Chain A
Amino acid sequence: MTSHPLRFGLVVAGSISQLEESARRAEQIGFDVVLLPDHLGMPAPLLSLLPMAEAAPSLRVGNMVLDAPFYRPALLARDLAAVDAATGGRLEIGLGAGHAEEEFRAAGLPFPSAGARVDLVVEHAVEIRRLLSDPGHSPAPVQTPPPIMIAGMGDRMLTAAARHADIVAFLSFGTREHLVERVGFFTDAAGDRAAEVERAFTFMQVASTIPTTCPSCAAPPPACPTTSCAGR
């Protein structure tokens, strides 16, 4: 089993001022990372990390996740290095294959096959790691290189993560059993690397609620004397 510390990330969106406020709130309530998605019509995924990092100086920043087929490795590595430098080494790189074909069309980009998109994720992970590990890279990142997260759920993406990622993000839209099977696939694919790769999971929708009474003693949370009260 892995020995990575437990940590939490919050994926946010909105205007720059809303992103700054969300980052501040996330920092105040105990998050470790704030992240931005990568979609047309949403905040620029790298540039917008800078005001968030400024607003929340203790948080790490990253993307959930950059669509690798939108970019070219050397150009993206340059921008990632600049963000890592500007945030004092707080960047976590997130890479995915992209799925929204309409966004590729709107951007005037080809929408490669699923297999080709996975190949592009691998190309980006390998090249970005190589470039940002090079002490001569300019601009110079603080982290050499920043950690690379690969997000996916198919066999090829999880195999890519097993070989090339520091963090694997399981994007399971299925049942818990499906996630268990996917984690098992990843573990087998990673072999000796399995314990070294940090495992991430994203809750796409949080509908949890704060109970109005303690489930054990039925007292309103402020009055509940038990340390296990959900409302404390």
Chain B
Amino acid sequence: MPDDELRGKVTYLPGPVEEAADRIRSLHETLGITYFTFIMSPSVTFETLERLLAALR
């Protein structure tokens, strides 16, 4: 799916790490989702994922 189509989709996770963590927390608290998976791609770094997971743990 092209990037411009992805924007606005719930499966697209943009923004600063803390904002992304808030979106994930919201899905957890409102929908009971407890298992979140991320597709590794050139647009994301392990450092970003590390910060994101640290914010959520």
Contact = CB atoms under 8 A, between A and B. Distances in A.
Given A170-B33, A174-B10, A228-B18, A205 B46 contact: no
Contacts of A25: 46
A22 B40 contact: yes
Contacts of A205: 1, 3, 6, 11-13, 39, 41, 43
Chain A: interface residue count, which band? 35 or more
Given A208-B15, A208-B17, A208-B48, A199 B10 contact: no
Contact of B49 (A171, A179, A199, A206): A206
Contact of B34 (A198, A210, A232): A198
A180 B10 CA distance: 10
Nearest to B40: A12
A135 to B, nearest CB: 28
Contact of A204 (B11, B54, B57): B11
Contacts of A171: 11
A26 B53 CA distance: 11
A173 interface: yes
Contacts of B49: 10, 29, 31, 206
Interface string B10-41: 11111111111100000110111111111111
Contacts of A228: 18
Interface residues of B, number: 45
A178 B31 contact: no
Contact of B53 (A2, A30, A230, A232): A30
Interface string A1-24: 110111111111100000000100
Contacts of B40: 10-13, 22
A153 to B, nearest CB: 10
A36 B5 CA distance: 24
Nearest to A176: B10
A205 B16 CA distance: 14
A215 B17 CA distance: 11
Given A22-B40, A173-B1, A231-B51, A208 B13 contact: yes
B41 to A, nearest CB: 6
A1 B13 CA distance: 24
Contact of A201 (B18, B33, B43, B51): B33
B17 A230 contact: yes
